[in-house]
Chain A
Amino acid sequence: MLAYIVRRLLYAIPILLGVNLLTFALFFVVNTPDDMARMQLGIKRVTPEAIARWKSERGYDKPLFYNSQAEASAKFTDTIFYSKSIRMFAFDFGRSDDGRDIGYEIRNRMGPSLAIALPVFLLSLIVTIAFALLQVMFRATYLDYGGVALCIAMMSISSMFYIIGGQFVFSKVWNLVPISGYGEGVDRARFLLLPVLVGIVGSIGSGARMYRAFFLEEAFKDYVRTARAKGVPEMAVLFRHVLKNAMIPILTGAVVVIPSLFLGSLITESFFGIPGLGSYTIEAIQSQDFAVVRSMVFIGSVLYIVGLILTDISYTLVDPRIRLQ
């Protein structure tokens, strides 16, 4: 087990290197720092001096890979590739293009992101499983087909409409919660209520449909038929056999997103004005702050890879048939 985890962690290194090279190529080779500077300073009326200053302030004036003017090992370290890309492996993200410490911002904004993403994740898992199980309980009846139709209809609505609709009904018409914003203490709950609710409702459609398929696949297996033949009550069959076994694909599918919860949700945070990592990313994209986008890409991939490893481990924990080697 431990050997397996170590091997998986080692395997993560080339992948992270690949991610790093890819983003580096995207940000520095496809476009030169000159292009970025011109973009930031405005296309028109830009002097070469202004570009040079912009670049040197942000450390983009070094050579890409190899600095022939530097001493010894600084030949490789005093380059854009080292200072902007390799340093990320030490979680040193440097400063954003408007001069703020990215690492500090990320640590500060994780909390609010998690405050929404975690409740949404847990509650929507519960609600979706309950809904899917209800459909399976009444399988092949109009209730079931109605549920499937409802799921497909809910899947067909853009997540933005859930947010806009929720804000409109709960905040504008009924005046129950503030439209957007974020606060401290007890106040926070009032601000978080609507985003969490919208997040849950928005994820029911696709989730319940998938889980229903998992449950149905389990519900027609031989051991379930045996249980029924023995006279096990339907409720016990569903909860003790079907639910328990279908939890394997459900849980392992859910584990992979757990680390990524830190990143928060782009759309939700931006609509509700929550100062999390999602809105940070959106602001960076909209103000074309490449340093922040690059850091978020790196963190996102690290968290995803952690998620993959956790998935493998969770397989062995919930399904004794699988052994890691």
Chain B
Amino acid sequence: MAFQPVFLWSDILLFLLIAVVVAGVFYVRSQPHMLEPWRRVGSSGSAMASLTLLLLFVLIGVLDSLHYRPRLESVSAGTNDVRHSVEVHSAFDVLAQVLRRGTEKTYSAPFAAYLYDKENIDRPDGTQFRDYPRLKHAAVHLQDPPSQLAPDVAFGLARALPVAAAVWLALALGVARRVARQSACSVASAWRAIWRRETPIAWNGALTALGATLALVVPLCLLSADYHVFGTDKVGQDVFYLTLKSIRTALVIGTLTTLVMMPFAIALGVVAGYFGGWIDDVVQYIYTTLNSIPGVLLIAASVLMMQVVIDSHPDWFATSAERADARLLALCGILGVTSWTGLCRLLRGETLKLRELDYVQAARAFGVTQVRIMIRHILPNLMHLVLISVVMDFSGLVLAEAVLSYVGIGVDPNTVSFGTMINQARMELSRDPMVWWSLLAAFVFMFVLVLSANLFADVVREALDPRLQVLSRNRLIRKAAHA
């Protein structure tokens, strides 16, 4: 084999999570009463648009989670001695080969042909002069960049937009055909129905978001073959590549943290609410104690301690990627331990209410065991709270990662993340001339990710939480009409 697959713990957990979500989707599809709230989510244009964006982010994150170690060129020819590089790459790195083609010396602006700092350049006759040197890996095909650069970029854009339009049209027609098959009508009428928002699922939102993304991303990808589209950072790495790599870290923090804390929160919350008495007192004591330590400080204390543990056991990890991954996972665990209390309190309160309901009393009268009552009768009726908290927590965790990395208690400094990007870039604004591109790239990608997560969470919460129906848009309008 030309490579050795590497399964980092975060990869395994991430794929496990995806498997759970896929299984959940199939299960919900078979249960009409569970499908109903999700239909409401599907009929919301903003939910479908943000879901499309989120899925694109997840796609990049998943590709970036298929890790492997490339085989080194045979060390001693003729023997079967196979060695693998200590560097861990991912499937995404293979796709983004063109972005990793080489690093420049230092900063360069987006679409630049020249470096950002002046350097001594040797003339052929031996003398030196100071000027901005040409970049080694961008705009190399141009003879005279000042005059050719703008037309070349414009030509690249003109070439990319039809490609984007073709891809979008193909996907949109695919959707229209599906809708046509489902409602047994012609593709043309399905197309009209989609854009008049007459379909049960708001495909127009998804297609609009997809179109906007394609129109931006396809030109960027095609042009990134010849240029550093987002410029390069201090050590000359392509910022576009770094930004895309950050997505995986954000997704891991946002999802695995919730995954880590969920078992605690559910088990303790349900048990405390169901049994009451001293068990309830103990659980309440635990979460009040944890809650009363300010979050950042508890995280700081735990991360500092974890750092000491990791640093004093270098033999645990085969590669630096594994160490960084251990630190990332530990951070997820620590964030999870500090954030499960809210959900736990919520579940306890809801269980207190549920256990008094008639159907639970009936189950008890029939002699159903306590454990079975909790699992079969109480837990399913709490799942909406769990789901809501999963989607609501995601954006907060992504934002928290950036802050924690700034404080120095976030991910490993070698892990690419939005936090480390911002941390490195924040002093660059005070340079003269200003270096703004890393910060802007991190800002835009993080903003789009968090915004789509927030929008999606908003709709999911509204659809799943019966108490929030009061605030939903339709009810409001109806009430306004009555008023």
Which A residues contact B (CB, under 8 angstroms)? 14-15, 18-19, 22-23, 26-27, 30-31, 35-36, 38-39, 43, 139-140, 145, 152-153, 155-161, 164, 167-168, 172, 179, 213, 216-217, 220, 228, 260, 263, 266-267, 270, 281-282, 285-286, 288, 290, 293-294, 296-297, 300-301, 304-305, 308
Contacts and interface: CB of A to CB of B under 8 A. Distances in A.
Contacts of B3: none
A27 B293 contact: no
B403 A160 contact: yes
| Interface class of chain A by DSSP | helix
Given A38-B312, A158-B422, A160-B406, 14 more contacts: A14-B285, A15-B288, A19-B289, A26-B301, A26-B305, A156-B395, A156-B447, A158-B402, A167-B429, A172-B429, A266-B296, A285-B407, A293-B304, A301-B293
Contact of B476 (A140, A152, A158): A140
Contact of B297 (A156, A290, A297): A297
Given A285-B408, A300-B293, A301-B292, A155 B454 contact: yes
A30 B305 contact: yes
Contact of A27 (B285, B301, B408): B301
A44 B332 CA distance: 30
B75 interface: no
Contacts of B297: 281, 293, 296-297, 300
Interface in B17-52: none
Contacts of B268: none
Contacts of A297: 293-294, 297-298, 301
18 contacts: A15-B285, A18-B285, A22-B289, A23-B293, A35-B308, A36-B308, A140-B473, A140-B479, A156-B450, A156-B454, A158-B418, A158-B443, A179-B430, A216-B470, A217-B471, A266-B403, A285-B407, A300-B294
A158 B446 contact: yes
Contacts, number: 137
B328 to A, nearest CB: 19
Contacts of A43: 311
A15 B477 contact: no
A18 to B, nearest CB: 4
A155 B392 CA distance: 12
A19 B292 contact: yes
B439 A158 contact: no
A270 B407 CA distance: 9
| Interface class of chain B by DSSP | helix
B294 A294 contact: no
A233 to B, nearest CB: 14
Interface residues of B, number: 50
Nearest to B478: A140
A150 to B, nearest CB: 12
Nearest to B475: A220
Interface of B: 285, 288-294, 296-298, 300-302, 304-305, 308-309, 311-312, 395, 399, 402-403, 406-409, 418, 422, 426, 429-430, 439, 443, 446-447, 450-451, 454-455, 458, 470-471, 473, 476-477, 479-480, 483
A270 B471 CA distance: 39
Nearest to A11: B288
A160 B451 contact: no
A213 B476 contact: no
A158 B308 contact: no
A282 B407 contact: yes
Given A19-B292, A161-B443, A168 B429 contact: yes
Given A15-B289, A19-B292, A35 B312 contact: yes
A167 B455 CA distance: 29
Contacts of B309: 30-31
A203 to B, nearest CB: 13
Contacts of A27: 301, 305
Contacts of A301: 292-294
B471 A285 contact: no
B305 A285 contact: no
A159 B401 CA distance: 12
Contacts of A156: 395, 447, 450-451, 454
B102 to A, nearest CB: 30
A304 B300 contact: no
Nearest to B400: A158
- Which among A15, A43, A179 has the greatest number of chain B C-beta atoms within 10 A? A15
A153 B403 contact: no
A159 B398 CA distance: 12
B476 A15 contact: no
A139 B305 contact: no
B308 A31 contact: yes
Contacts of A23: 293, 301
Contacts of B395: 155-156
A38 B308 CA distance: 9
Contacts of A270: 407
B411 to A, nearest CB: 15
